[in-house]
Structure 1
Amino acid sequence: MTHLEKLTLYLRVRNRSSFVNGTHLHNEILVHMPQLHTFIFYISTENNINESVHRISNDDIQQTFTHTRYARTGCMVNYLNTFKAICHVFSLPFTFTRLNMITNQFPTIIFDYVTHLHVFDVVSLKHEFFIRISRAFPMLQFFSLVNIMFQSWDVNEWQYDNNSTFLQLLNILILYHLTSRAHLPRLAELKVSYDQLKMVTMNFTRDATRRNCSKVKRLIVEESTVFSKDVYQYFPSL
């Protein structure tokens, strides 16, 4: 591999003793490839952490990318909870289509090629978060969100009875922000409860949510449902 001139790496690593950073990449890869002139990479390292250990920051990781053979690089160090953290290092521009396990603490970068995004966070997400998502990921088609905290949104506008569960209400709020507050013109797949979808779209008449539904080619609902004519008019690409 000493004659390799171009290398593309997409790696997800778990349970290392330390995060993969610029120093590691230089010592383990670049020094063995003297003719390498193009290095495109995304590497995430998910590790268990000890609360007593110093928390590594984005700046700590970024400072390891000092070798002149690196082009522009970016990084994200996300602490998922008190015992687990994940570090993402990548070349810029980010040319891969998938980005997994990021939190709401992502840099002000435009990820022009990302179509699949998975977000995990333990803090309350406000509607500004979804605006940032729509701006940072203009090509987004598939979006997955795991968040266990109650959201800082006004729930008074939603009518629900005592039989509504917390998870149902949370899903409704997430759906509302994705389809109304954010601009996702390339959203191609949507998985949702049919009853929640009817509520958010006001029985498929609400214009504010219509714009993000026009490109959806696959609508997955939890219940066995025969779609009405109104559904197909609201989702013309089905």
Structure 2
Amino acid sequence: MDERSFEHEFFLRIAQSFPLMEKLKVVNETPQKNKLCSESKHDNRDLSIIKYPHLNDLILYEVHDDYIEQFLVDTKMCVSNHVNLSIEYEPLRRVTHNFTRNVTRSSCTKLNSLYLNGKRRASKLVKTYFPHTKIL
């Protein structure tokens, strides 16, 4: 596990260096140091929106909530419409504010499939928040 935080600029460099990347696994429980408030689009106006147009598989196990926000807040990251997300249930529930948070909703509607580790059955809230997603 990495002891340094991965900042927004780090993910931007990855996207620029590997524009055809199809799979990304992030493992880092260290919080981001330069995290901006993700509730306001104005707080993120100086950040470049990171684009991963060919990303198919995103794996976010053993990550701090900041990295889940990094990929799901639409003012920070833009993922394609066919991403398969593998993630722990509880951190996803926290980041999406129990599947009600608007700033993560648009990215969540783009997912092709969602593998929720730690949850046997998807609740009605999960199914509503991920309306077009196959929940595994």
Corresponding residue of 1:143? 24
Gap change, CA 1:201 and 1:149, over 3 Å in 2: closer
Corresponding residue of 1:127? 8
Unpaired runs of at least 5, structure 1: 1-119, 158-166
Using CA pairs under 8 Å that are at least 6 residues apart, name the structure with larger relative contact order, 1 or 2: 2
Q: Which amino acid aligns with 1:143?
A: L
Gap change, CA 1:175 and 1:223, over 3 Å in 2: same
1:217 aligns with 2:112: yes
Looking at structure 2, the residues matched to 134 and 187 of structure 1 have their Cα atoms a distance apart, in angstroms, of: 17
Corresponding residue of 1:236? 131
The answer to whether the Cα contact below 8 Å between 1:192 and 1:222 also exists between their aligned partners in 2 is yes
Instruction: Select the structure of larger CA radius of gyration.
Output: 1
- SS of the residue 1:217 aligns to: strand
- What is the aligned-residue identity percentage? 31
Gap change, CA 1:137 and 1:200, over 3 Å in 2: farther
Alignment TM-score, normalising by the size of structure 1? 0.37
Q: Which amino acid aligns with 2:10?
A: F
- Superposed counterparts of 1:54-203, under 5 Å: 123-133=4-14, 142-147=23-28, 151-154=32-35, 170-180=63-73, 181-203=76-98
Q: Which amino acid aligns with 2:96?
A: T
Looking at structure 1, the residues matched to 18 and 83 of structure 2 have their Cα atoms a distance apart, in angstroms, of: 14
The answer to whether the Cα contact below 8 Å between 1:187 and 1:213 also exists between their aligned partners in 2 is no
Q: CA deviation at 1:231?
A: 1.4
Task: Pick the aligned partner of 1:207 from 89, 95, 102.
Answer: 102
Alignment TM-score, normalising by the size of structure 2? 0.59
How many residue pairs were aligned? 109
Gap change, CA 1:121 and 1:196, over 3 Å in 2: closer
The runs of 4+ residues in structure 1 deviating greater than 6 Å are 135-139
- SS of the residue 2:64 aligns to: helix
Gap change, CA 1:186 and 1:133, over 3 Å in 2: farther
Q: CA deviation at 1:229?
A: 2.2
- SS of the residue 2:118 aligns to: coil
More helix, by proportion: 2
Unpaired runs of at least 5, structure 2: 39-60
- SS of the residue 2:111 aligns to: coil
Output one character per residue of 1:199-223: Cα deviation in whole Å (capped at 9) or x when no partner.
1111111121112212212211221
